[in-house]
Structure 1
Amino acid sequence: MKKIAAIVLASAAMISTAFAGEIQGVVKAVDADTATVELESGEVFTLAEGVVLQGIEAGTTVKVVFTDGTTEATEVSAVQ
């Protein structure tokens, strides 16, 4: 039973990773009212529930992790 649970957990982790995209860019604008971040490339990402943009503002270089096939950002972090 423990082996089955371990396999299920490992499979779930791989599936969630397989459906995530990642991009790096410079923030053009942050809109707190609509919970969106626009990159200078023109791409706009909507923040998933619970994503906090601490210290992210226009001009910040960021890495955006998003749900593949959507523009829902599951993580936005500053790149040093």
Structure 2
Amino acid sequence: MKTILAAIAATGMLTLAAYAAEVEGTVQTVDPATQTIALDDGTVYTAGAGVDLTSLAAGAKVKLTIDDATNEVTAVEAGM
């Protein structure tokens, strides 16, 4: 029974991971107080709770992982 539940849970996790997009760009502005990142194409994203933006600065090349359901940034990879 535990094996079946573990398999169902793992399948659900894979399904959730499929609903994320990745965006690459250059940071135009970043505001850790409001958790927002503006890229050089003019798009502004809001980072979800727990995403640390304090190390980002204008001009940094980044890859953002965006949750399609909430449209929030869930991960930031800098130095692309």
Matching of residue 10 in structure 1 with residue 17 in structure 2: no
Q: Which amino acid aligns with 1:16?
A: L
Alignment size in residue pairs: 80
Describe the SS at the equivalent of 2:64.
Answer: strand
Matching of residue 21 in structure 1 with residue 17 in structure 2: no
Give the alignment of 1:47-62 within 5 angstroms: 47-62=47-62
Give me the identity figure in percent: 39
**Corresponding residue number in structure 2 for 1:72:** 72
CA distance in 2, matches of 1:15, 1:55: 31
CA distance in 2, matches of 1:21, 1:77: 13
| Equivalent pair of 2:32/2:53 in contact (CA under 8 Å) | no
Summarize deviations over 1:28-57 as a string: whole Å, max 9, x none.
000122110000011111010011124211
Deviation (angstroms), 1:69: 5.0
Q: Using the TM superposition, name which of 1-10 and 15-24 deviates more.
A: 1-10
Give the alignment of 1:26-41 within 5 angstroms: 26-41=26-41
Deviation (angstroms), 1:3: 2.2
CA distance in 2, matches of 1:57, 1:38: 11
| Dislocated runs of 4+, deviation >4 Å | none
RMSD between superposed Cα atoms in Å? 1.5
Q: Using the TM superposition, name which of 32-41 and 63-72 deviates more.
A: 63-72
